[in-house]
Amino acid sequence: MSSSAVARAWRRSLRDVLLRGSAWRGGASTRPASTASASGAATEAAAAPKKVPPPPRKGRLLTGALIGLAIGGGAYVSTADEAKFCGWLFKATELVNPLFAMLDAEFAHSLAVKAAAHGFVPREKRPDPPVLGLDVWGRKFANPIGLAAGFDKNAEAVEGLLGMGFGFVEVGSVTPHPQEGNPKPRIFRLREHGAVINRCGFNSEGIVVVAKRLGAQHGKRKMEETSTSTSPSTSDIKQGGKAGPGILGVNLGKNKTSEDAAADYVQGVHTLSQYADYLVINISSPNTPGLRKLQGRKQLKDLVKKVQAARDEMQWAEDGPPPLLVKIAPDLSKQDLEDIAAVALALRLDGLIISNTTVSRPPPVDTHSLAQETGGLSGKPLFDLSTNILREMYILTRGKIPLIGCGGVSSGEDAYKKIRSGATLVQLYTALAYAGPALIPRIKAELAECLERDGFKSVQEAVGADFR
């Protein structure tokens, strides 16, 4: 898109915001003139209309900030090339992000998802540093930084999130039937620790709704591929995924009241696997009663066998079925880890995600006023615990299966430590909630600097480097 075209788009956005603001305030100004004149003296004699209360102060601040960004962006874009303008947009989100911190945590989360779903987030136009590219499961990842499950639970904003520059995005957890999850409030910020406690409990719109959304996105992707005049690649490595230029993972959960966990996961596979570049069996949330018991050796083996069979019995094109991963908890004993590793190797799992949130409250979180809230802890305090589990699992699996490092990542250096500890890919979530979209290009640039500083020519070269 040319600078002039972008400028026109900014002017239209600003006009729409202003018009919506006028309509929102209501009153006689929004009333058609013909209606006003027809009312005549009867209207004059009527009681004065009720006063419309002004919008909440937080809402006015957020709207004002958006308008300010629109004005500033419109002025800037006329003199900037696309790359510079893209960088400015990501930087500008730092001005808006503190306003989200003033809102209730779950409402702010919902607002962020809606913003991404409707394109009100910056879109990355700059190529990633070549050193970040890697191939996993026959797919080419532009970079190893992904968004963990839990942010876009219902696949509302896949295109917008991938467009922000993530190498991959994981939606869910998705349950077979809709469920509201646990009572609110259920998300608590621990700002001074860069942490969050949540006890959402797999709140989900269900697989039918998610399948419709992903099906529409998949159809759009296919149409774009059909209309592209470029000849197909002869490489065995496929560029991008089923949802666009990035890779899409679908995280599957079970319903709280379900008595047959395997049946729930099988239903998820049958309904959603056709839209996924990889699938995840989530048996690690601390907020669904009995879920973590599925991490036991026998239970896990039986579950994975049934889910693998359900996937493999489906008809697949030449790309084959999507890889199947399991997401585990950080609160595991040495024996637990050995059992999981044995099952993963024996059944040839395609990967493990390490890890979900923790029920422990490591220092200094243990002294926080919210430490007694039940639920899973995520964010910076989880980093050391999840990384130690990652290192143990890399040793136990001898690096034979890809591991995704998740938990407490908030910088390029954090991502690099996960990779050196055995992670092929890295996920984040809580850091995005605190830092906003500006975190994404920053963390990729920092990771590239770490790799180049230590003489690695690719991410793959650095995987498990601490053990060599």
- Cα 61 from Cα 47, distance rounded (Å): 33
CA 330 to chain centre: 20
- Active site includes 285? yes
DSSP string computed for 312-327: HTS---TT-SPPEEEE
Q: Is 387 exposed, middle or buried (0-12, 13-18, 19+ CB in 10 A)?
A: buried
- Cα 213 from Cα 275, distance rounded (Å): 10
- Cα 207 from Cα 172, distance rounded (Å): 10
Task: Say if CB 327 and CB 254 are below 8 A apart.
Answer: no
DSSP string computed for 76-101: HHTTS-HHHHHHHHHHHHHHHHHHHH
Supply the DSSP symbol for 51: P
E-strand ranges in 375-461 read: 376-379, 403-406, 425-428
- Cα 266 from Cα 214, distance rounded (Å): 18
- Please pick, among 173, 204, 258, 285, the residue that the annotation labels catalytic: 285
Q: Is 455 left (phi over 0), alpha (psi -120 to 50) or beta?
A: left
Q: In the numeric block, which tokens belong to residue 162?
A: 């991938």
H helix intervals, 245-326: 261-272, 297-312
Q: In the numeric block, which tokens belong to residue 119?
A: 């394109």
Note if the bond before 355 is cis, omega within 30 degrees. Answer: yes
- Cα 149 from Cα 198, distance rounded (Å): 13
**Structural element, H or E, at residue 197:** strand 195-198
- Cα 20 from Cα 263, distance rounded (Å): 47
Coil vs helix vs strand at 145: strand
Task: Say if CB 307 and CB 264 are below 8 A apart.
Answer: no
Task: Say if CB 274 and CB 241 are below 8 A apart.
Answer: no
- Cα 173 from Cα 155, distance rounded (Å): 10
Question: Which residues participate in catalysis according to the annotation?
Answer: 285
